[in-house]
């Protein structure tokens, strides 16, 4: 069963894991990660399929839509991004629906490091956070000093959150300690900024690997674990998010520290977003139903949520003509 | 030819049909899961048809919107060829259409065959307009300045078409063809009581070169889908032909359509005789005129 607690044998007595012991050496880390119970693939997929059939209507739907809007990391990560485009997106983040001031703000704007300054200036005083991808996003193929310089530049420009990518090559070839050390170094470079660790689950092949990578990122001190860069297919999926939510739930049970989860990429419709919220609630619990602990990385999703919101308030279906192109 | 009625001259048991909707080039069941019995003029069972819900209407609008750039962007000549090809397929299904029409509308076999012939001829007539309408309705305008100035017609967008309730094939063709010939895409609600010709037309369109989503066919009750279509903000125009003779409903639909300033072709007081010469009215209603000023000598 997928919902079994993952760490019973590894707790060093009541009250927690022996974190220092686990991360002491390559072999102890491997022993821990490979000692995690395997993910029942069929079970995980069946579980999300069941949860996806939940019917969320009327007032519950209105609540879920507003919550989903407030959890969005409104993202633009294209080579063709310009300061003007980022400023337009920031205006949208502050007030997603110009026709309806009751629509909540999004959680954050997510941009490349060189555009953080533009976003931070445009969002000053709004409460919307600025997130910056870093560490040679999306491939992560650069020397560590280069990655750390990337992070420091983002933080110095005003980023509240840093989205780093793990070294999938090192992870897949079993060099877990190298991955861990890199995350620790990036976390140190972040200073006060929150660190989101992108696992790029589309390249990890199996749910077992997703579970191991999740634990690795959490052990290294990540504040959030994030599914994907959005540049690799498949991006976020419900079963992958389920496995990651189990990891953060079990970690909090074992240590008391709460870690957030962020699916990103491929979530385009309100229906998808609400399914994610259901999985969050049923897996990790409603402590995670909060923009501080669950985010959705998306761009086109916001317009669909706003259209659904307009449908609920006016009673008629809305169209894309009435919302911004982005 | 399949026997749609429960009468059978042999011992063979006829296969009873449950038809589905036609949305985005596919034949999905109604989201509501409902269907209703279609009977002939004498009340005998013909087939089950899908009972479209407002969500089906929403899905159909989405499909029509998605198909719009491709269809409106195709050259007028190409659209004309695609529609001529549909006429060829209609010709091949004459017998089935005649049977559908006669079962639903009654009358003689000869009258039904004549209605089918008239419908095919009407389709061909509209197909011919595809590459001519811009020449007839567009113009080069003489202006008092150093400009080339010309006006060209462009399609309005997604059009919701309420097909006539009585004339199930000729009426249907007479309202669908003028909408799509100029590059619009449409969502059609068929006659509630006589949906079979519309379903057969959908089967024809599915095997033709008309891209999926250009014509979407909803069967069921007008009251379930028409208000959704009329108030939908992503529908650009609505043809209320199917609400003829129901002033209460058509007024309600006109009010709903006012929200996003849809173009409305109002319902006549009673259903007209569709055999009459159609004229250009129905094509012109769903066109927008774009005027371009181009400097001379630059």
Whether B1 maps to a domain, the answer reads no
The pair phi, psi for residue A133, each rounded to 5°, is -75, 150
Residue B14: band (very low, low, confident or very high) from pLDDT cuts 50, 70, 90 = confident
Furthest-apart CA atoms within chain B: distance in Å = 81
Q: Which residues pair with A11 in a beta bridge?
A: A17
Active-site residue flag, A311: no
Whether B185 maps to a domain, the answer reads yes
B6 has a pLDDT exceeding 90:
no
CATH assignment at residue B149: 3.40.605.10
**What is the pLDDT at residue A13?**
38
Whether B159 maps to a domain, the answer reads yes
- Local structure of B158: helix, strand or coil: strand
Nearest to A217 by CA among A254, A243, A170, A184: A184
What average pLDDT score do residues A107-119 get? 97
Residue B7's CB is within 10 A of a number of other CB atoms, namely 8
Q: Which domains does chain A have, with CATH numbers?
A: 18-315 (3.20.20.70)
Mean pLDDT of chain B: 95
Nearest to B262 by CA among B161, B145, B193: B161
Residue B8: band (very low, low, confident or very high) from pLDDT cuts 50, 70, 90 = low
How many Cα atoms are found within 13 Å in the side-chain-facing hemisphere of A125?
Answer: 1
Q: Could you read off the pLDDT of A67-76 as tens digits, one per residue?
A: 999 999 999 9
Number of domains in chain B: 1
**What is the pLDDT at residue A326?**
76
* Distance in angstroms (rounded) separating the CA atoms of residues B286 and B261: 13
Measured between alpha carbons, how far is residue A279 from residues A64, A159, A294 in Å? 13, 29, 11
The minimum CA-CA distance between B224 and chain A, rounded to whole Å, is 14
This prediction's pTM: 0.89
Chain A residue numbers touching B259 (CB-CB < 8 A): 316
Q: Could you read off the pLDDT of A234-258 as tens digits, one per residue?
A: 999 999 999 999 999 999 999 999 9
B144 has a pLDDT exceeding 70:
yes
The pair phi, psi for residue B151, each rounded to 5°, is -115, 130
A12 has a pLDDT exceeding 70:
no
Q: Of the ranges A8-12, A44-48, A156-160, B101-105, which one carries the lowest mean pLDDT score?
A: A8-12
**What is the pLDDT at residue B260?**
85
Q: For testing the chain B interface, which of A268, A310, A317, A321 should be mutated: the one with the most B CBs within 10 Å?
A: A317
**What is the pLDDT at residue B2?**
52
CA torsion angle A92 A97 A101 A104 (round to 10): -70
Residue A1: band (very low, low, confident or very high) from pLDDT cuts 50, 70, 90 = very low
**What is the pLDDT at residue A80?**
95
How many inter-chain contacts (A to B, CB under 8 Å) are there? Answer: 27
**What is the pLDDT at residue A14?**
38
Prediction ipTM score? 0.83
Q: Could you read off the pLDDT of B43-102 as tens digits, one per residue?
A: 999 999 999 999 999 999 999 999 999 999 999 999 999 999 999 999 999 999 999 999
Cβ contact, residue pair A319, B259, below 8 Å: no
Cβ contact, residue pair A322, B228, below 8 Å: no
Cβ contact, residue pair A317, B65, below 8 Å: no
DSSP string covering A212-265:
HHHHHHHHTT-SEEE---SSSSS---HHHHHHHHHHHHHHHHHHS---EEE-BS
Return the H-helix or E-strand segment holding A168. helix A168-172
Q: Residue B216's domain spans which residues? A: 35-295
Q: What percent of chain A has pLDDT over 70?
A: 95
Q: What percent of chain B has pLDDT over 90?
A: 93
Whether B220 maps to a domain, the answer reads yes
Whether B18 maps to a domain, the answer reads no
CA A140 to chain centre: 17
**What is the pLDDT at residue A325?**
83
Active-site residue flag, A292: no
């Amino acid at each position: 069963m997928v919902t079994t607690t993952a760490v019973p044998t590894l707790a060093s007595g009541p009250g927690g894991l022996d974190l220092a012991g686990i991360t002491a050496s390559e072999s102890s880390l491997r022993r821990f990660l490979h000692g995690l119970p395997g993910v029942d693939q069929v079970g995980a997929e069946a579980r999300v399929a069941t949860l996806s059939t939940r019917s969320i209507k009327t007032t519950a739907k209105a609540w879920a839509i507003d919550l989903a809007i407030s959890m969005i990391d409104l993202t633009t990560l294209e080579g063709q991004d310009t300061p003007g485009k980022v400023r337009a997106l920031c205006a949208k983040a502050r007030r997603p629906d110009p026709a309806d001031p009751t629509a909540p703000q999004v959680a954050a704007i997510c941009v490349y490091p060189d555009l953080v300054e533009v976003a931070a200036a445009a969002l000053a005083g709004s409460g919307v956070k600025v997130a910056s991808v870093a560490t040679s996003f999306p491939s992560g193929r650069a020397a560590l000093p280069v990655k750390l310089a990337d992070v420091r530049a983002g933080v110095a420009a005003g980023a509240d959150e840093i989205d780093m990518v793990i070294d999938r090559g090192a992870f897949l070839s079993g060099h877990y300690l190298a991955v861990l050390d890199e995350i620790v170094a990036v976390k140190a470079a972040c200073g006060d900024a929150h660190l989101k660790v992108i696992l790029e689950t589309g390249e990890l092949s199996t749910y077992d690997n997703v579970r191991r990578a999740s634990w690795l990122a959490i052990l290294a001190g990540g504040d959030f674990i994030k599914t994907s860069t959005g540049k690799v297919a498949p991006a976020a999926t419900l079963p992958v998010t389920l496995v990651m939510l189990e990891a953060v739930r079990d970690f909090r049970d074992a240590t008391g520290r709460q870690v957030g989860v962020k699916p990103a990429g491929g979530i385009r419709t309100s229906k998808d977003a609400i399914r994610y919220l259901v999985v969050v609630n049923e897996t990790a619990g409603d402590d995670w139903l909060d923009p501080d602990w669950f985010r959705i990385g998306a761009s086109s999703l916001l317009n669909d949520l706003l259209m659904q919101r307009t449908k609920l308030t006016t009673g008629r279906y809305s169209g894309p003509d009435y919302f911004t192109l982005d | 030819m399949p026997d749609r009625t429960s009468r059978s001259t042999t011992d063979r048991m006829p296969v009873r049909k449950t038809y589905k909707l036609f949305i985005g080039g596919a034949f999905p069941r109604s989201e509501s899961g409902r269907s209703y019995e279609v009977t002939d003029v004498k009340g005998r069972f013909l087939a089950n048809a899908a009972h479209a819900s407002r969500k089906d209407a929403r899905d159909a609008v989405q499909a029509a919107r998605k198909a719009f750039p491709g269809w409106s962007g195709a050259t007028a000549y190409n659209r004309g060829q695609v529609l001529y090809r549909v006429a060829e397929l209609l010709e091949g299904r004459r017998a089935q259409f005649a049977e559908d029409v006669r079962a639903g509308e009654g009358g003689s076999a000869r009258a039904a065959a004549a209605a089918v012939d008239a419908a095919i001829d009407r389709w061909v007539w509209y197909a011919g307009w595809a590459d001519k309408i811009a020449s007839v309705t567009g113009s080069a305008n003489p202006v008092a300045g150093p400009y080339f100035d010309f006006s060209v017609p462009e399609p309005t967008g997604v059009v919701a078409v309420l097909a006539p309730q009585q004339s199930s094939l000729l009426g249907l063709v007479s309202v669908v063809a003028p909408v799509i010939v100029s590059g619009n895409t449409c969502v059609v609600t068929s006659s509630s009581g006589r949906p079979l010709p519309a379903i057969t037309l959908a089967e024809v369109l599915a095997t033709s070169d008309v891209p999926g989503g250009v014509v979407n066919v909803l069967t069921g009750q007008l009251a379930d889908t028409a208000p959704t279509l009329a108030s939908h903000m992503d529908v650009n125009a609505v043809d209320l032909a199917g609400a003829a003779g129901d002033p209460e409903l058509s007024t309600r639909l006109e009010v709903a359509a006012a929200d996003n300033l849809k173009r409305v072709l109002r319902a006549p007081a009673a259903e007209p005789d569709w055999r009459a010469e159609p004229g250009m009215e129905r094509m012109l209603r769903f066109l927008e005129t774009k005027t371009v000023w181009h400097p001379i000598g630059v």
